[in-house]
Structure 1
Amino acid sequence: MVSRKHKRAAMYKKLQLLRSITNSHAQSKTSIVLDASKYIEDLKRKIDEMNRDIVVETVQASLPLQLKVEAQEKGFVIEVFTERSCCGLLVFILEAFEELGLDVRQARVSCSDRFHLEAIGARDNQGGHEDQIDAQVVKEAVLQAIQCWSETSEQK
Structure 2
Amino acid sequence: MSKDKKRADLDEKFQQLRSMTNSTSANKASILVKASNHIRKLKDKIEKLNQELGSTSTYPNTENEHQQDSFPKVNVETLENMFTVNVESEQNCPGLLLTIIQVFEELGLDVLNAEAACNDGFELAAQGVWNEGAESLDAEIVKQVVIEAIRKWMSGTASP
Secondary structure at the residue paired with 1:57?
Answer: coil
Native 8 Å contact 1:62 1:150 kept in 2: no
Tell me by how many angstroms 1:116 deviates: 0.2
TM-score (ref. length: structure 1):
0.58
Within 5 A, what are the aligned runs for 1:57-136?
57-58=61-62, 61=68, 63-125=70-132, 127=133, 130-136=134-140
Gapped runs of 5+ residues in structure 2? Answer: 1-46
Q: Does 1:53 align with 2:33?
A: no
Give the aligned partner of residue 19 of structure 1: none
Structure possessing the higher radius of gyration over alpha carbons: 1
Native 8 Å contact 1:109 1:115 kept in 2: yes
Tell me by how many angstroms 1:55 deviates: 5.4
Secondary structure at the residue paired with 2:144?
Answer: helix
Native 8 Å contact 2:113 2:127 kept in 1: yes
Native 8 Å contact 2:130 2:136 kept in 1: no
Secondary structure at the residue paired with 1:51?
Answer: coil
Tell me by how many angstroms 1:53 deviates: 2.0
Native 8 Å contact 1:103 1:121 kept in 2: yes
- Give 2:141's aligned amino acid: V
Q: Which whole-Å CA distance do the structure 1 matches of 2:91 and 2:99 have between them?
A: 16
- Stretch of structure 1 that moved more, 92-101 or 64-73: 64-73
Q: What is the root-mean-square deviation in Å for CA atoms of aligned residues? A: 3.0
Secondary structure at the residue paired with 1:108?
Answer: strand
Specify which structure has the higher proportion of helix.
Answer: 1
Distance 1:96 1:109, change over 3 A: same
Tell me by how many angstroms 1:66 deviates: 1.5
Among 134, 142, 149, the residue aligned to 2:146: 142
Tell me by how many angstroms 1:73 deviates: 3.4
Secondary structure at the residue paired with 1:87?
Answer: coil
- Give 1:139's aligned amino acid: K
Q: Percent same amino acid among aligned pairs?
A: 36
- How many equivalent residue pairs? 105
TM-score (ref. length: structure 2):
0.56
Native 8 Å contact 2:58 2:143 kept in 1: no
